Structure 1
């Protein structure tokens, strides 16, 4: 029985993955904000034994303190983690500051992932055949990170914020596989729109896409995550990137290793104990 940890695992693609792995008999820890959605997910599995193999960890992953608490709790509970799926999402098209002083999108979409990936490193290594799936769409430009102002206090735009998070998560893969060469680290995005409840504070354009276009043109979450199930069941050591089932090239910058180390230093220095 494998141990699968899923952030954002109560709804959407994360929820579809949680249902699948509970159905096939794995142990699943779901990190999310809604206990009611988790209970509904368990009911949808339809297997009484699922409750014994499932755990809900309530957390707001835009907060560094909550991310660190999750790491402490799950590393105390599980000596081995076979798969870590990073799927938590809350889209913002405006700059928002958390109570800890971080830009909220940077905190949720990168700082929390950094904390979990680094914090679970020993448990992932103990698996011997572990995988991290980071639902951060690959392909951002190599120079997308503002190392001098990662909270984007100057010149914030949704596009700049989004590209910075995505590039940072690709560099995180360099850090993760550097110390665990047997680890599979995959940055992944769906091939097209996905039908799911939309969590976010966004403008009219995104709301239109979420409420109108996705139901008409999007795929069901269970269909969208089928390529992810295969990647988790058959992990290949090293870094890779996919859009849906299709592998795409990793972005290679002129100073990737140095940038990864610089990012590591930046987070450890400025993320209030991350």
Structure 2
């Protein structure tokens, strides 16, 4: 059995992965905001032993204090974590500041992942075949991060924010595999739209895509995550990027190692300063 930790595991693709691994007999920890959705997910599974292997940890991962609390709970409870799936999502098209003073999208889509990946490094090293799957669509430009203003206090746009988060999560893979060369670190995005409940505060264009296009053209979450299941079942050490089942080239910049270290220093300061 493997211990699988899934953020955003009560909806969409995260919930589909939780159902799969619970059905397969693995202990699964779901990190999310809705206990009711978690209970419904577990009760819908026919195996009565599921409830014994399923754990819910309530957290708002846009808050660094909640991310740190999750790490403290998991490190106290588990000596080994075999798979960490980072799938929590709440899309914002406008800049929003959390109660901690962070830009919400940067906090949710990068800082929380940084806290979890670095904070659970010991538990991942204890696994024979550890894997981190980061559902951050690969392919952002190498220079996408404004290191002088990562929370985009000036000139915020959804496009800039999205590109920064995606690139930061690719660089996080450099930090994670530098610390643990046996780790499989995968940045992954679905091959096409996925039918799921849409959590976000967005404009009319995104709302139309979520409410009209996804039901018409999107794939079911259980179908979308099949490539992820294969990657978790058969992890290969090192970094890789995928769109659906297709391996895609990693973006390589001339200063990746230095940028990863710079990001580590930046994120570590933000995380500790909260």
What's the TM-score once normalised by structure 1's chain length? Answer: 0.99
Q: CA RMSD in A?
A: 0.7
The alpha-carbon deviation at position 46 of structure 1 amounts to 1.7
- In the alignment, which residue of structure 2 is the partner of 1:225? 225
Q: Does structure 1 residue 176 correspond to structure 2 residue 176?
A: yes
Structure 1 runs (4+) greater than 2 angstroms displaced: 270-274
The alpha-carbon deviation at position 201 of structure 1 amounts to 0.1
- In the alignment, which residue of structure 2 is the partner of 1:238? 238
Q: Does structure 1 residue 247 correspond to structure 2 residue 247?
A: yes
- The whole-number CA distance in structure 1 between the counterparts of 2:58 and 2:193 is 27
- In the alignment, which residue of structure 2 is the partner of 1:114? 114
- In the alignment, which residue of structure 1 is the partner of 2:103? 103
Deviation string 1:53-74 (CA, Å, 9 cap, x unpaired) is 0000000000000000000001
- The whole-number CA distance in structure 2 between the counterparts of 1:90 and 1:244 is 21
- The whole-number CA distance in structure 2 between the counterparts of 1:94 and 1:165 is 15
- In the alignment, which residue of structure 1 is the partner of 2:68? 68
- In the alignment, which residue of structure 1 is the partner of 2:189? 189
- In the alignment, which residue of structure 1 is the partner of 2:79? 79
Q: How many residues matched?
A: 274
- The whole-number CA distance in structure 2 between the counterparts of 1:167 and 1:176 is 14
- The whole-number CA distance in structure 2 between the counterparts of 1:49 and 1:211 is 36
5+ residue gaps in structure 2? none
- The whole-number CA distance in structure 2 between the counterparts of 1:165 and 1:129 is 26
- The whole-number CA distance in structure 2 between the counterparts of 1:43 and 1:270 is 39
The alpha-carbon deviation at position 145 of structure 1 amounts to 0.4
Residues 75/273 of structure 1: CA separation in 2 closer, same or farther (3 Å cut): farther
Q: Does structure 1 residue 270 correspond to structure 2 residue 270?
A: yes
The alpha-carbon deviation at position 273 of structure 1 amounts to 4.2
- The whole-number CA distance in structure 1 between the counterparts of 2:127 and 2:23 is 21
- The whole-number CA distance in structure 2 between the counterparts of 1:272 and 1:201 is 28
- In the alignment, which residue of structure 2 is the partner of 1:59? 59
- In the alignment, which residue of structure 2 is the partner of 1:12? 12
5+ residue gaps in structure 1? none
On the 8 A contact 2:115/2:271 being kept in 1, the answer is: no
The alpha-carbon deviation at position 83 of structure 1 amounts to 0.1
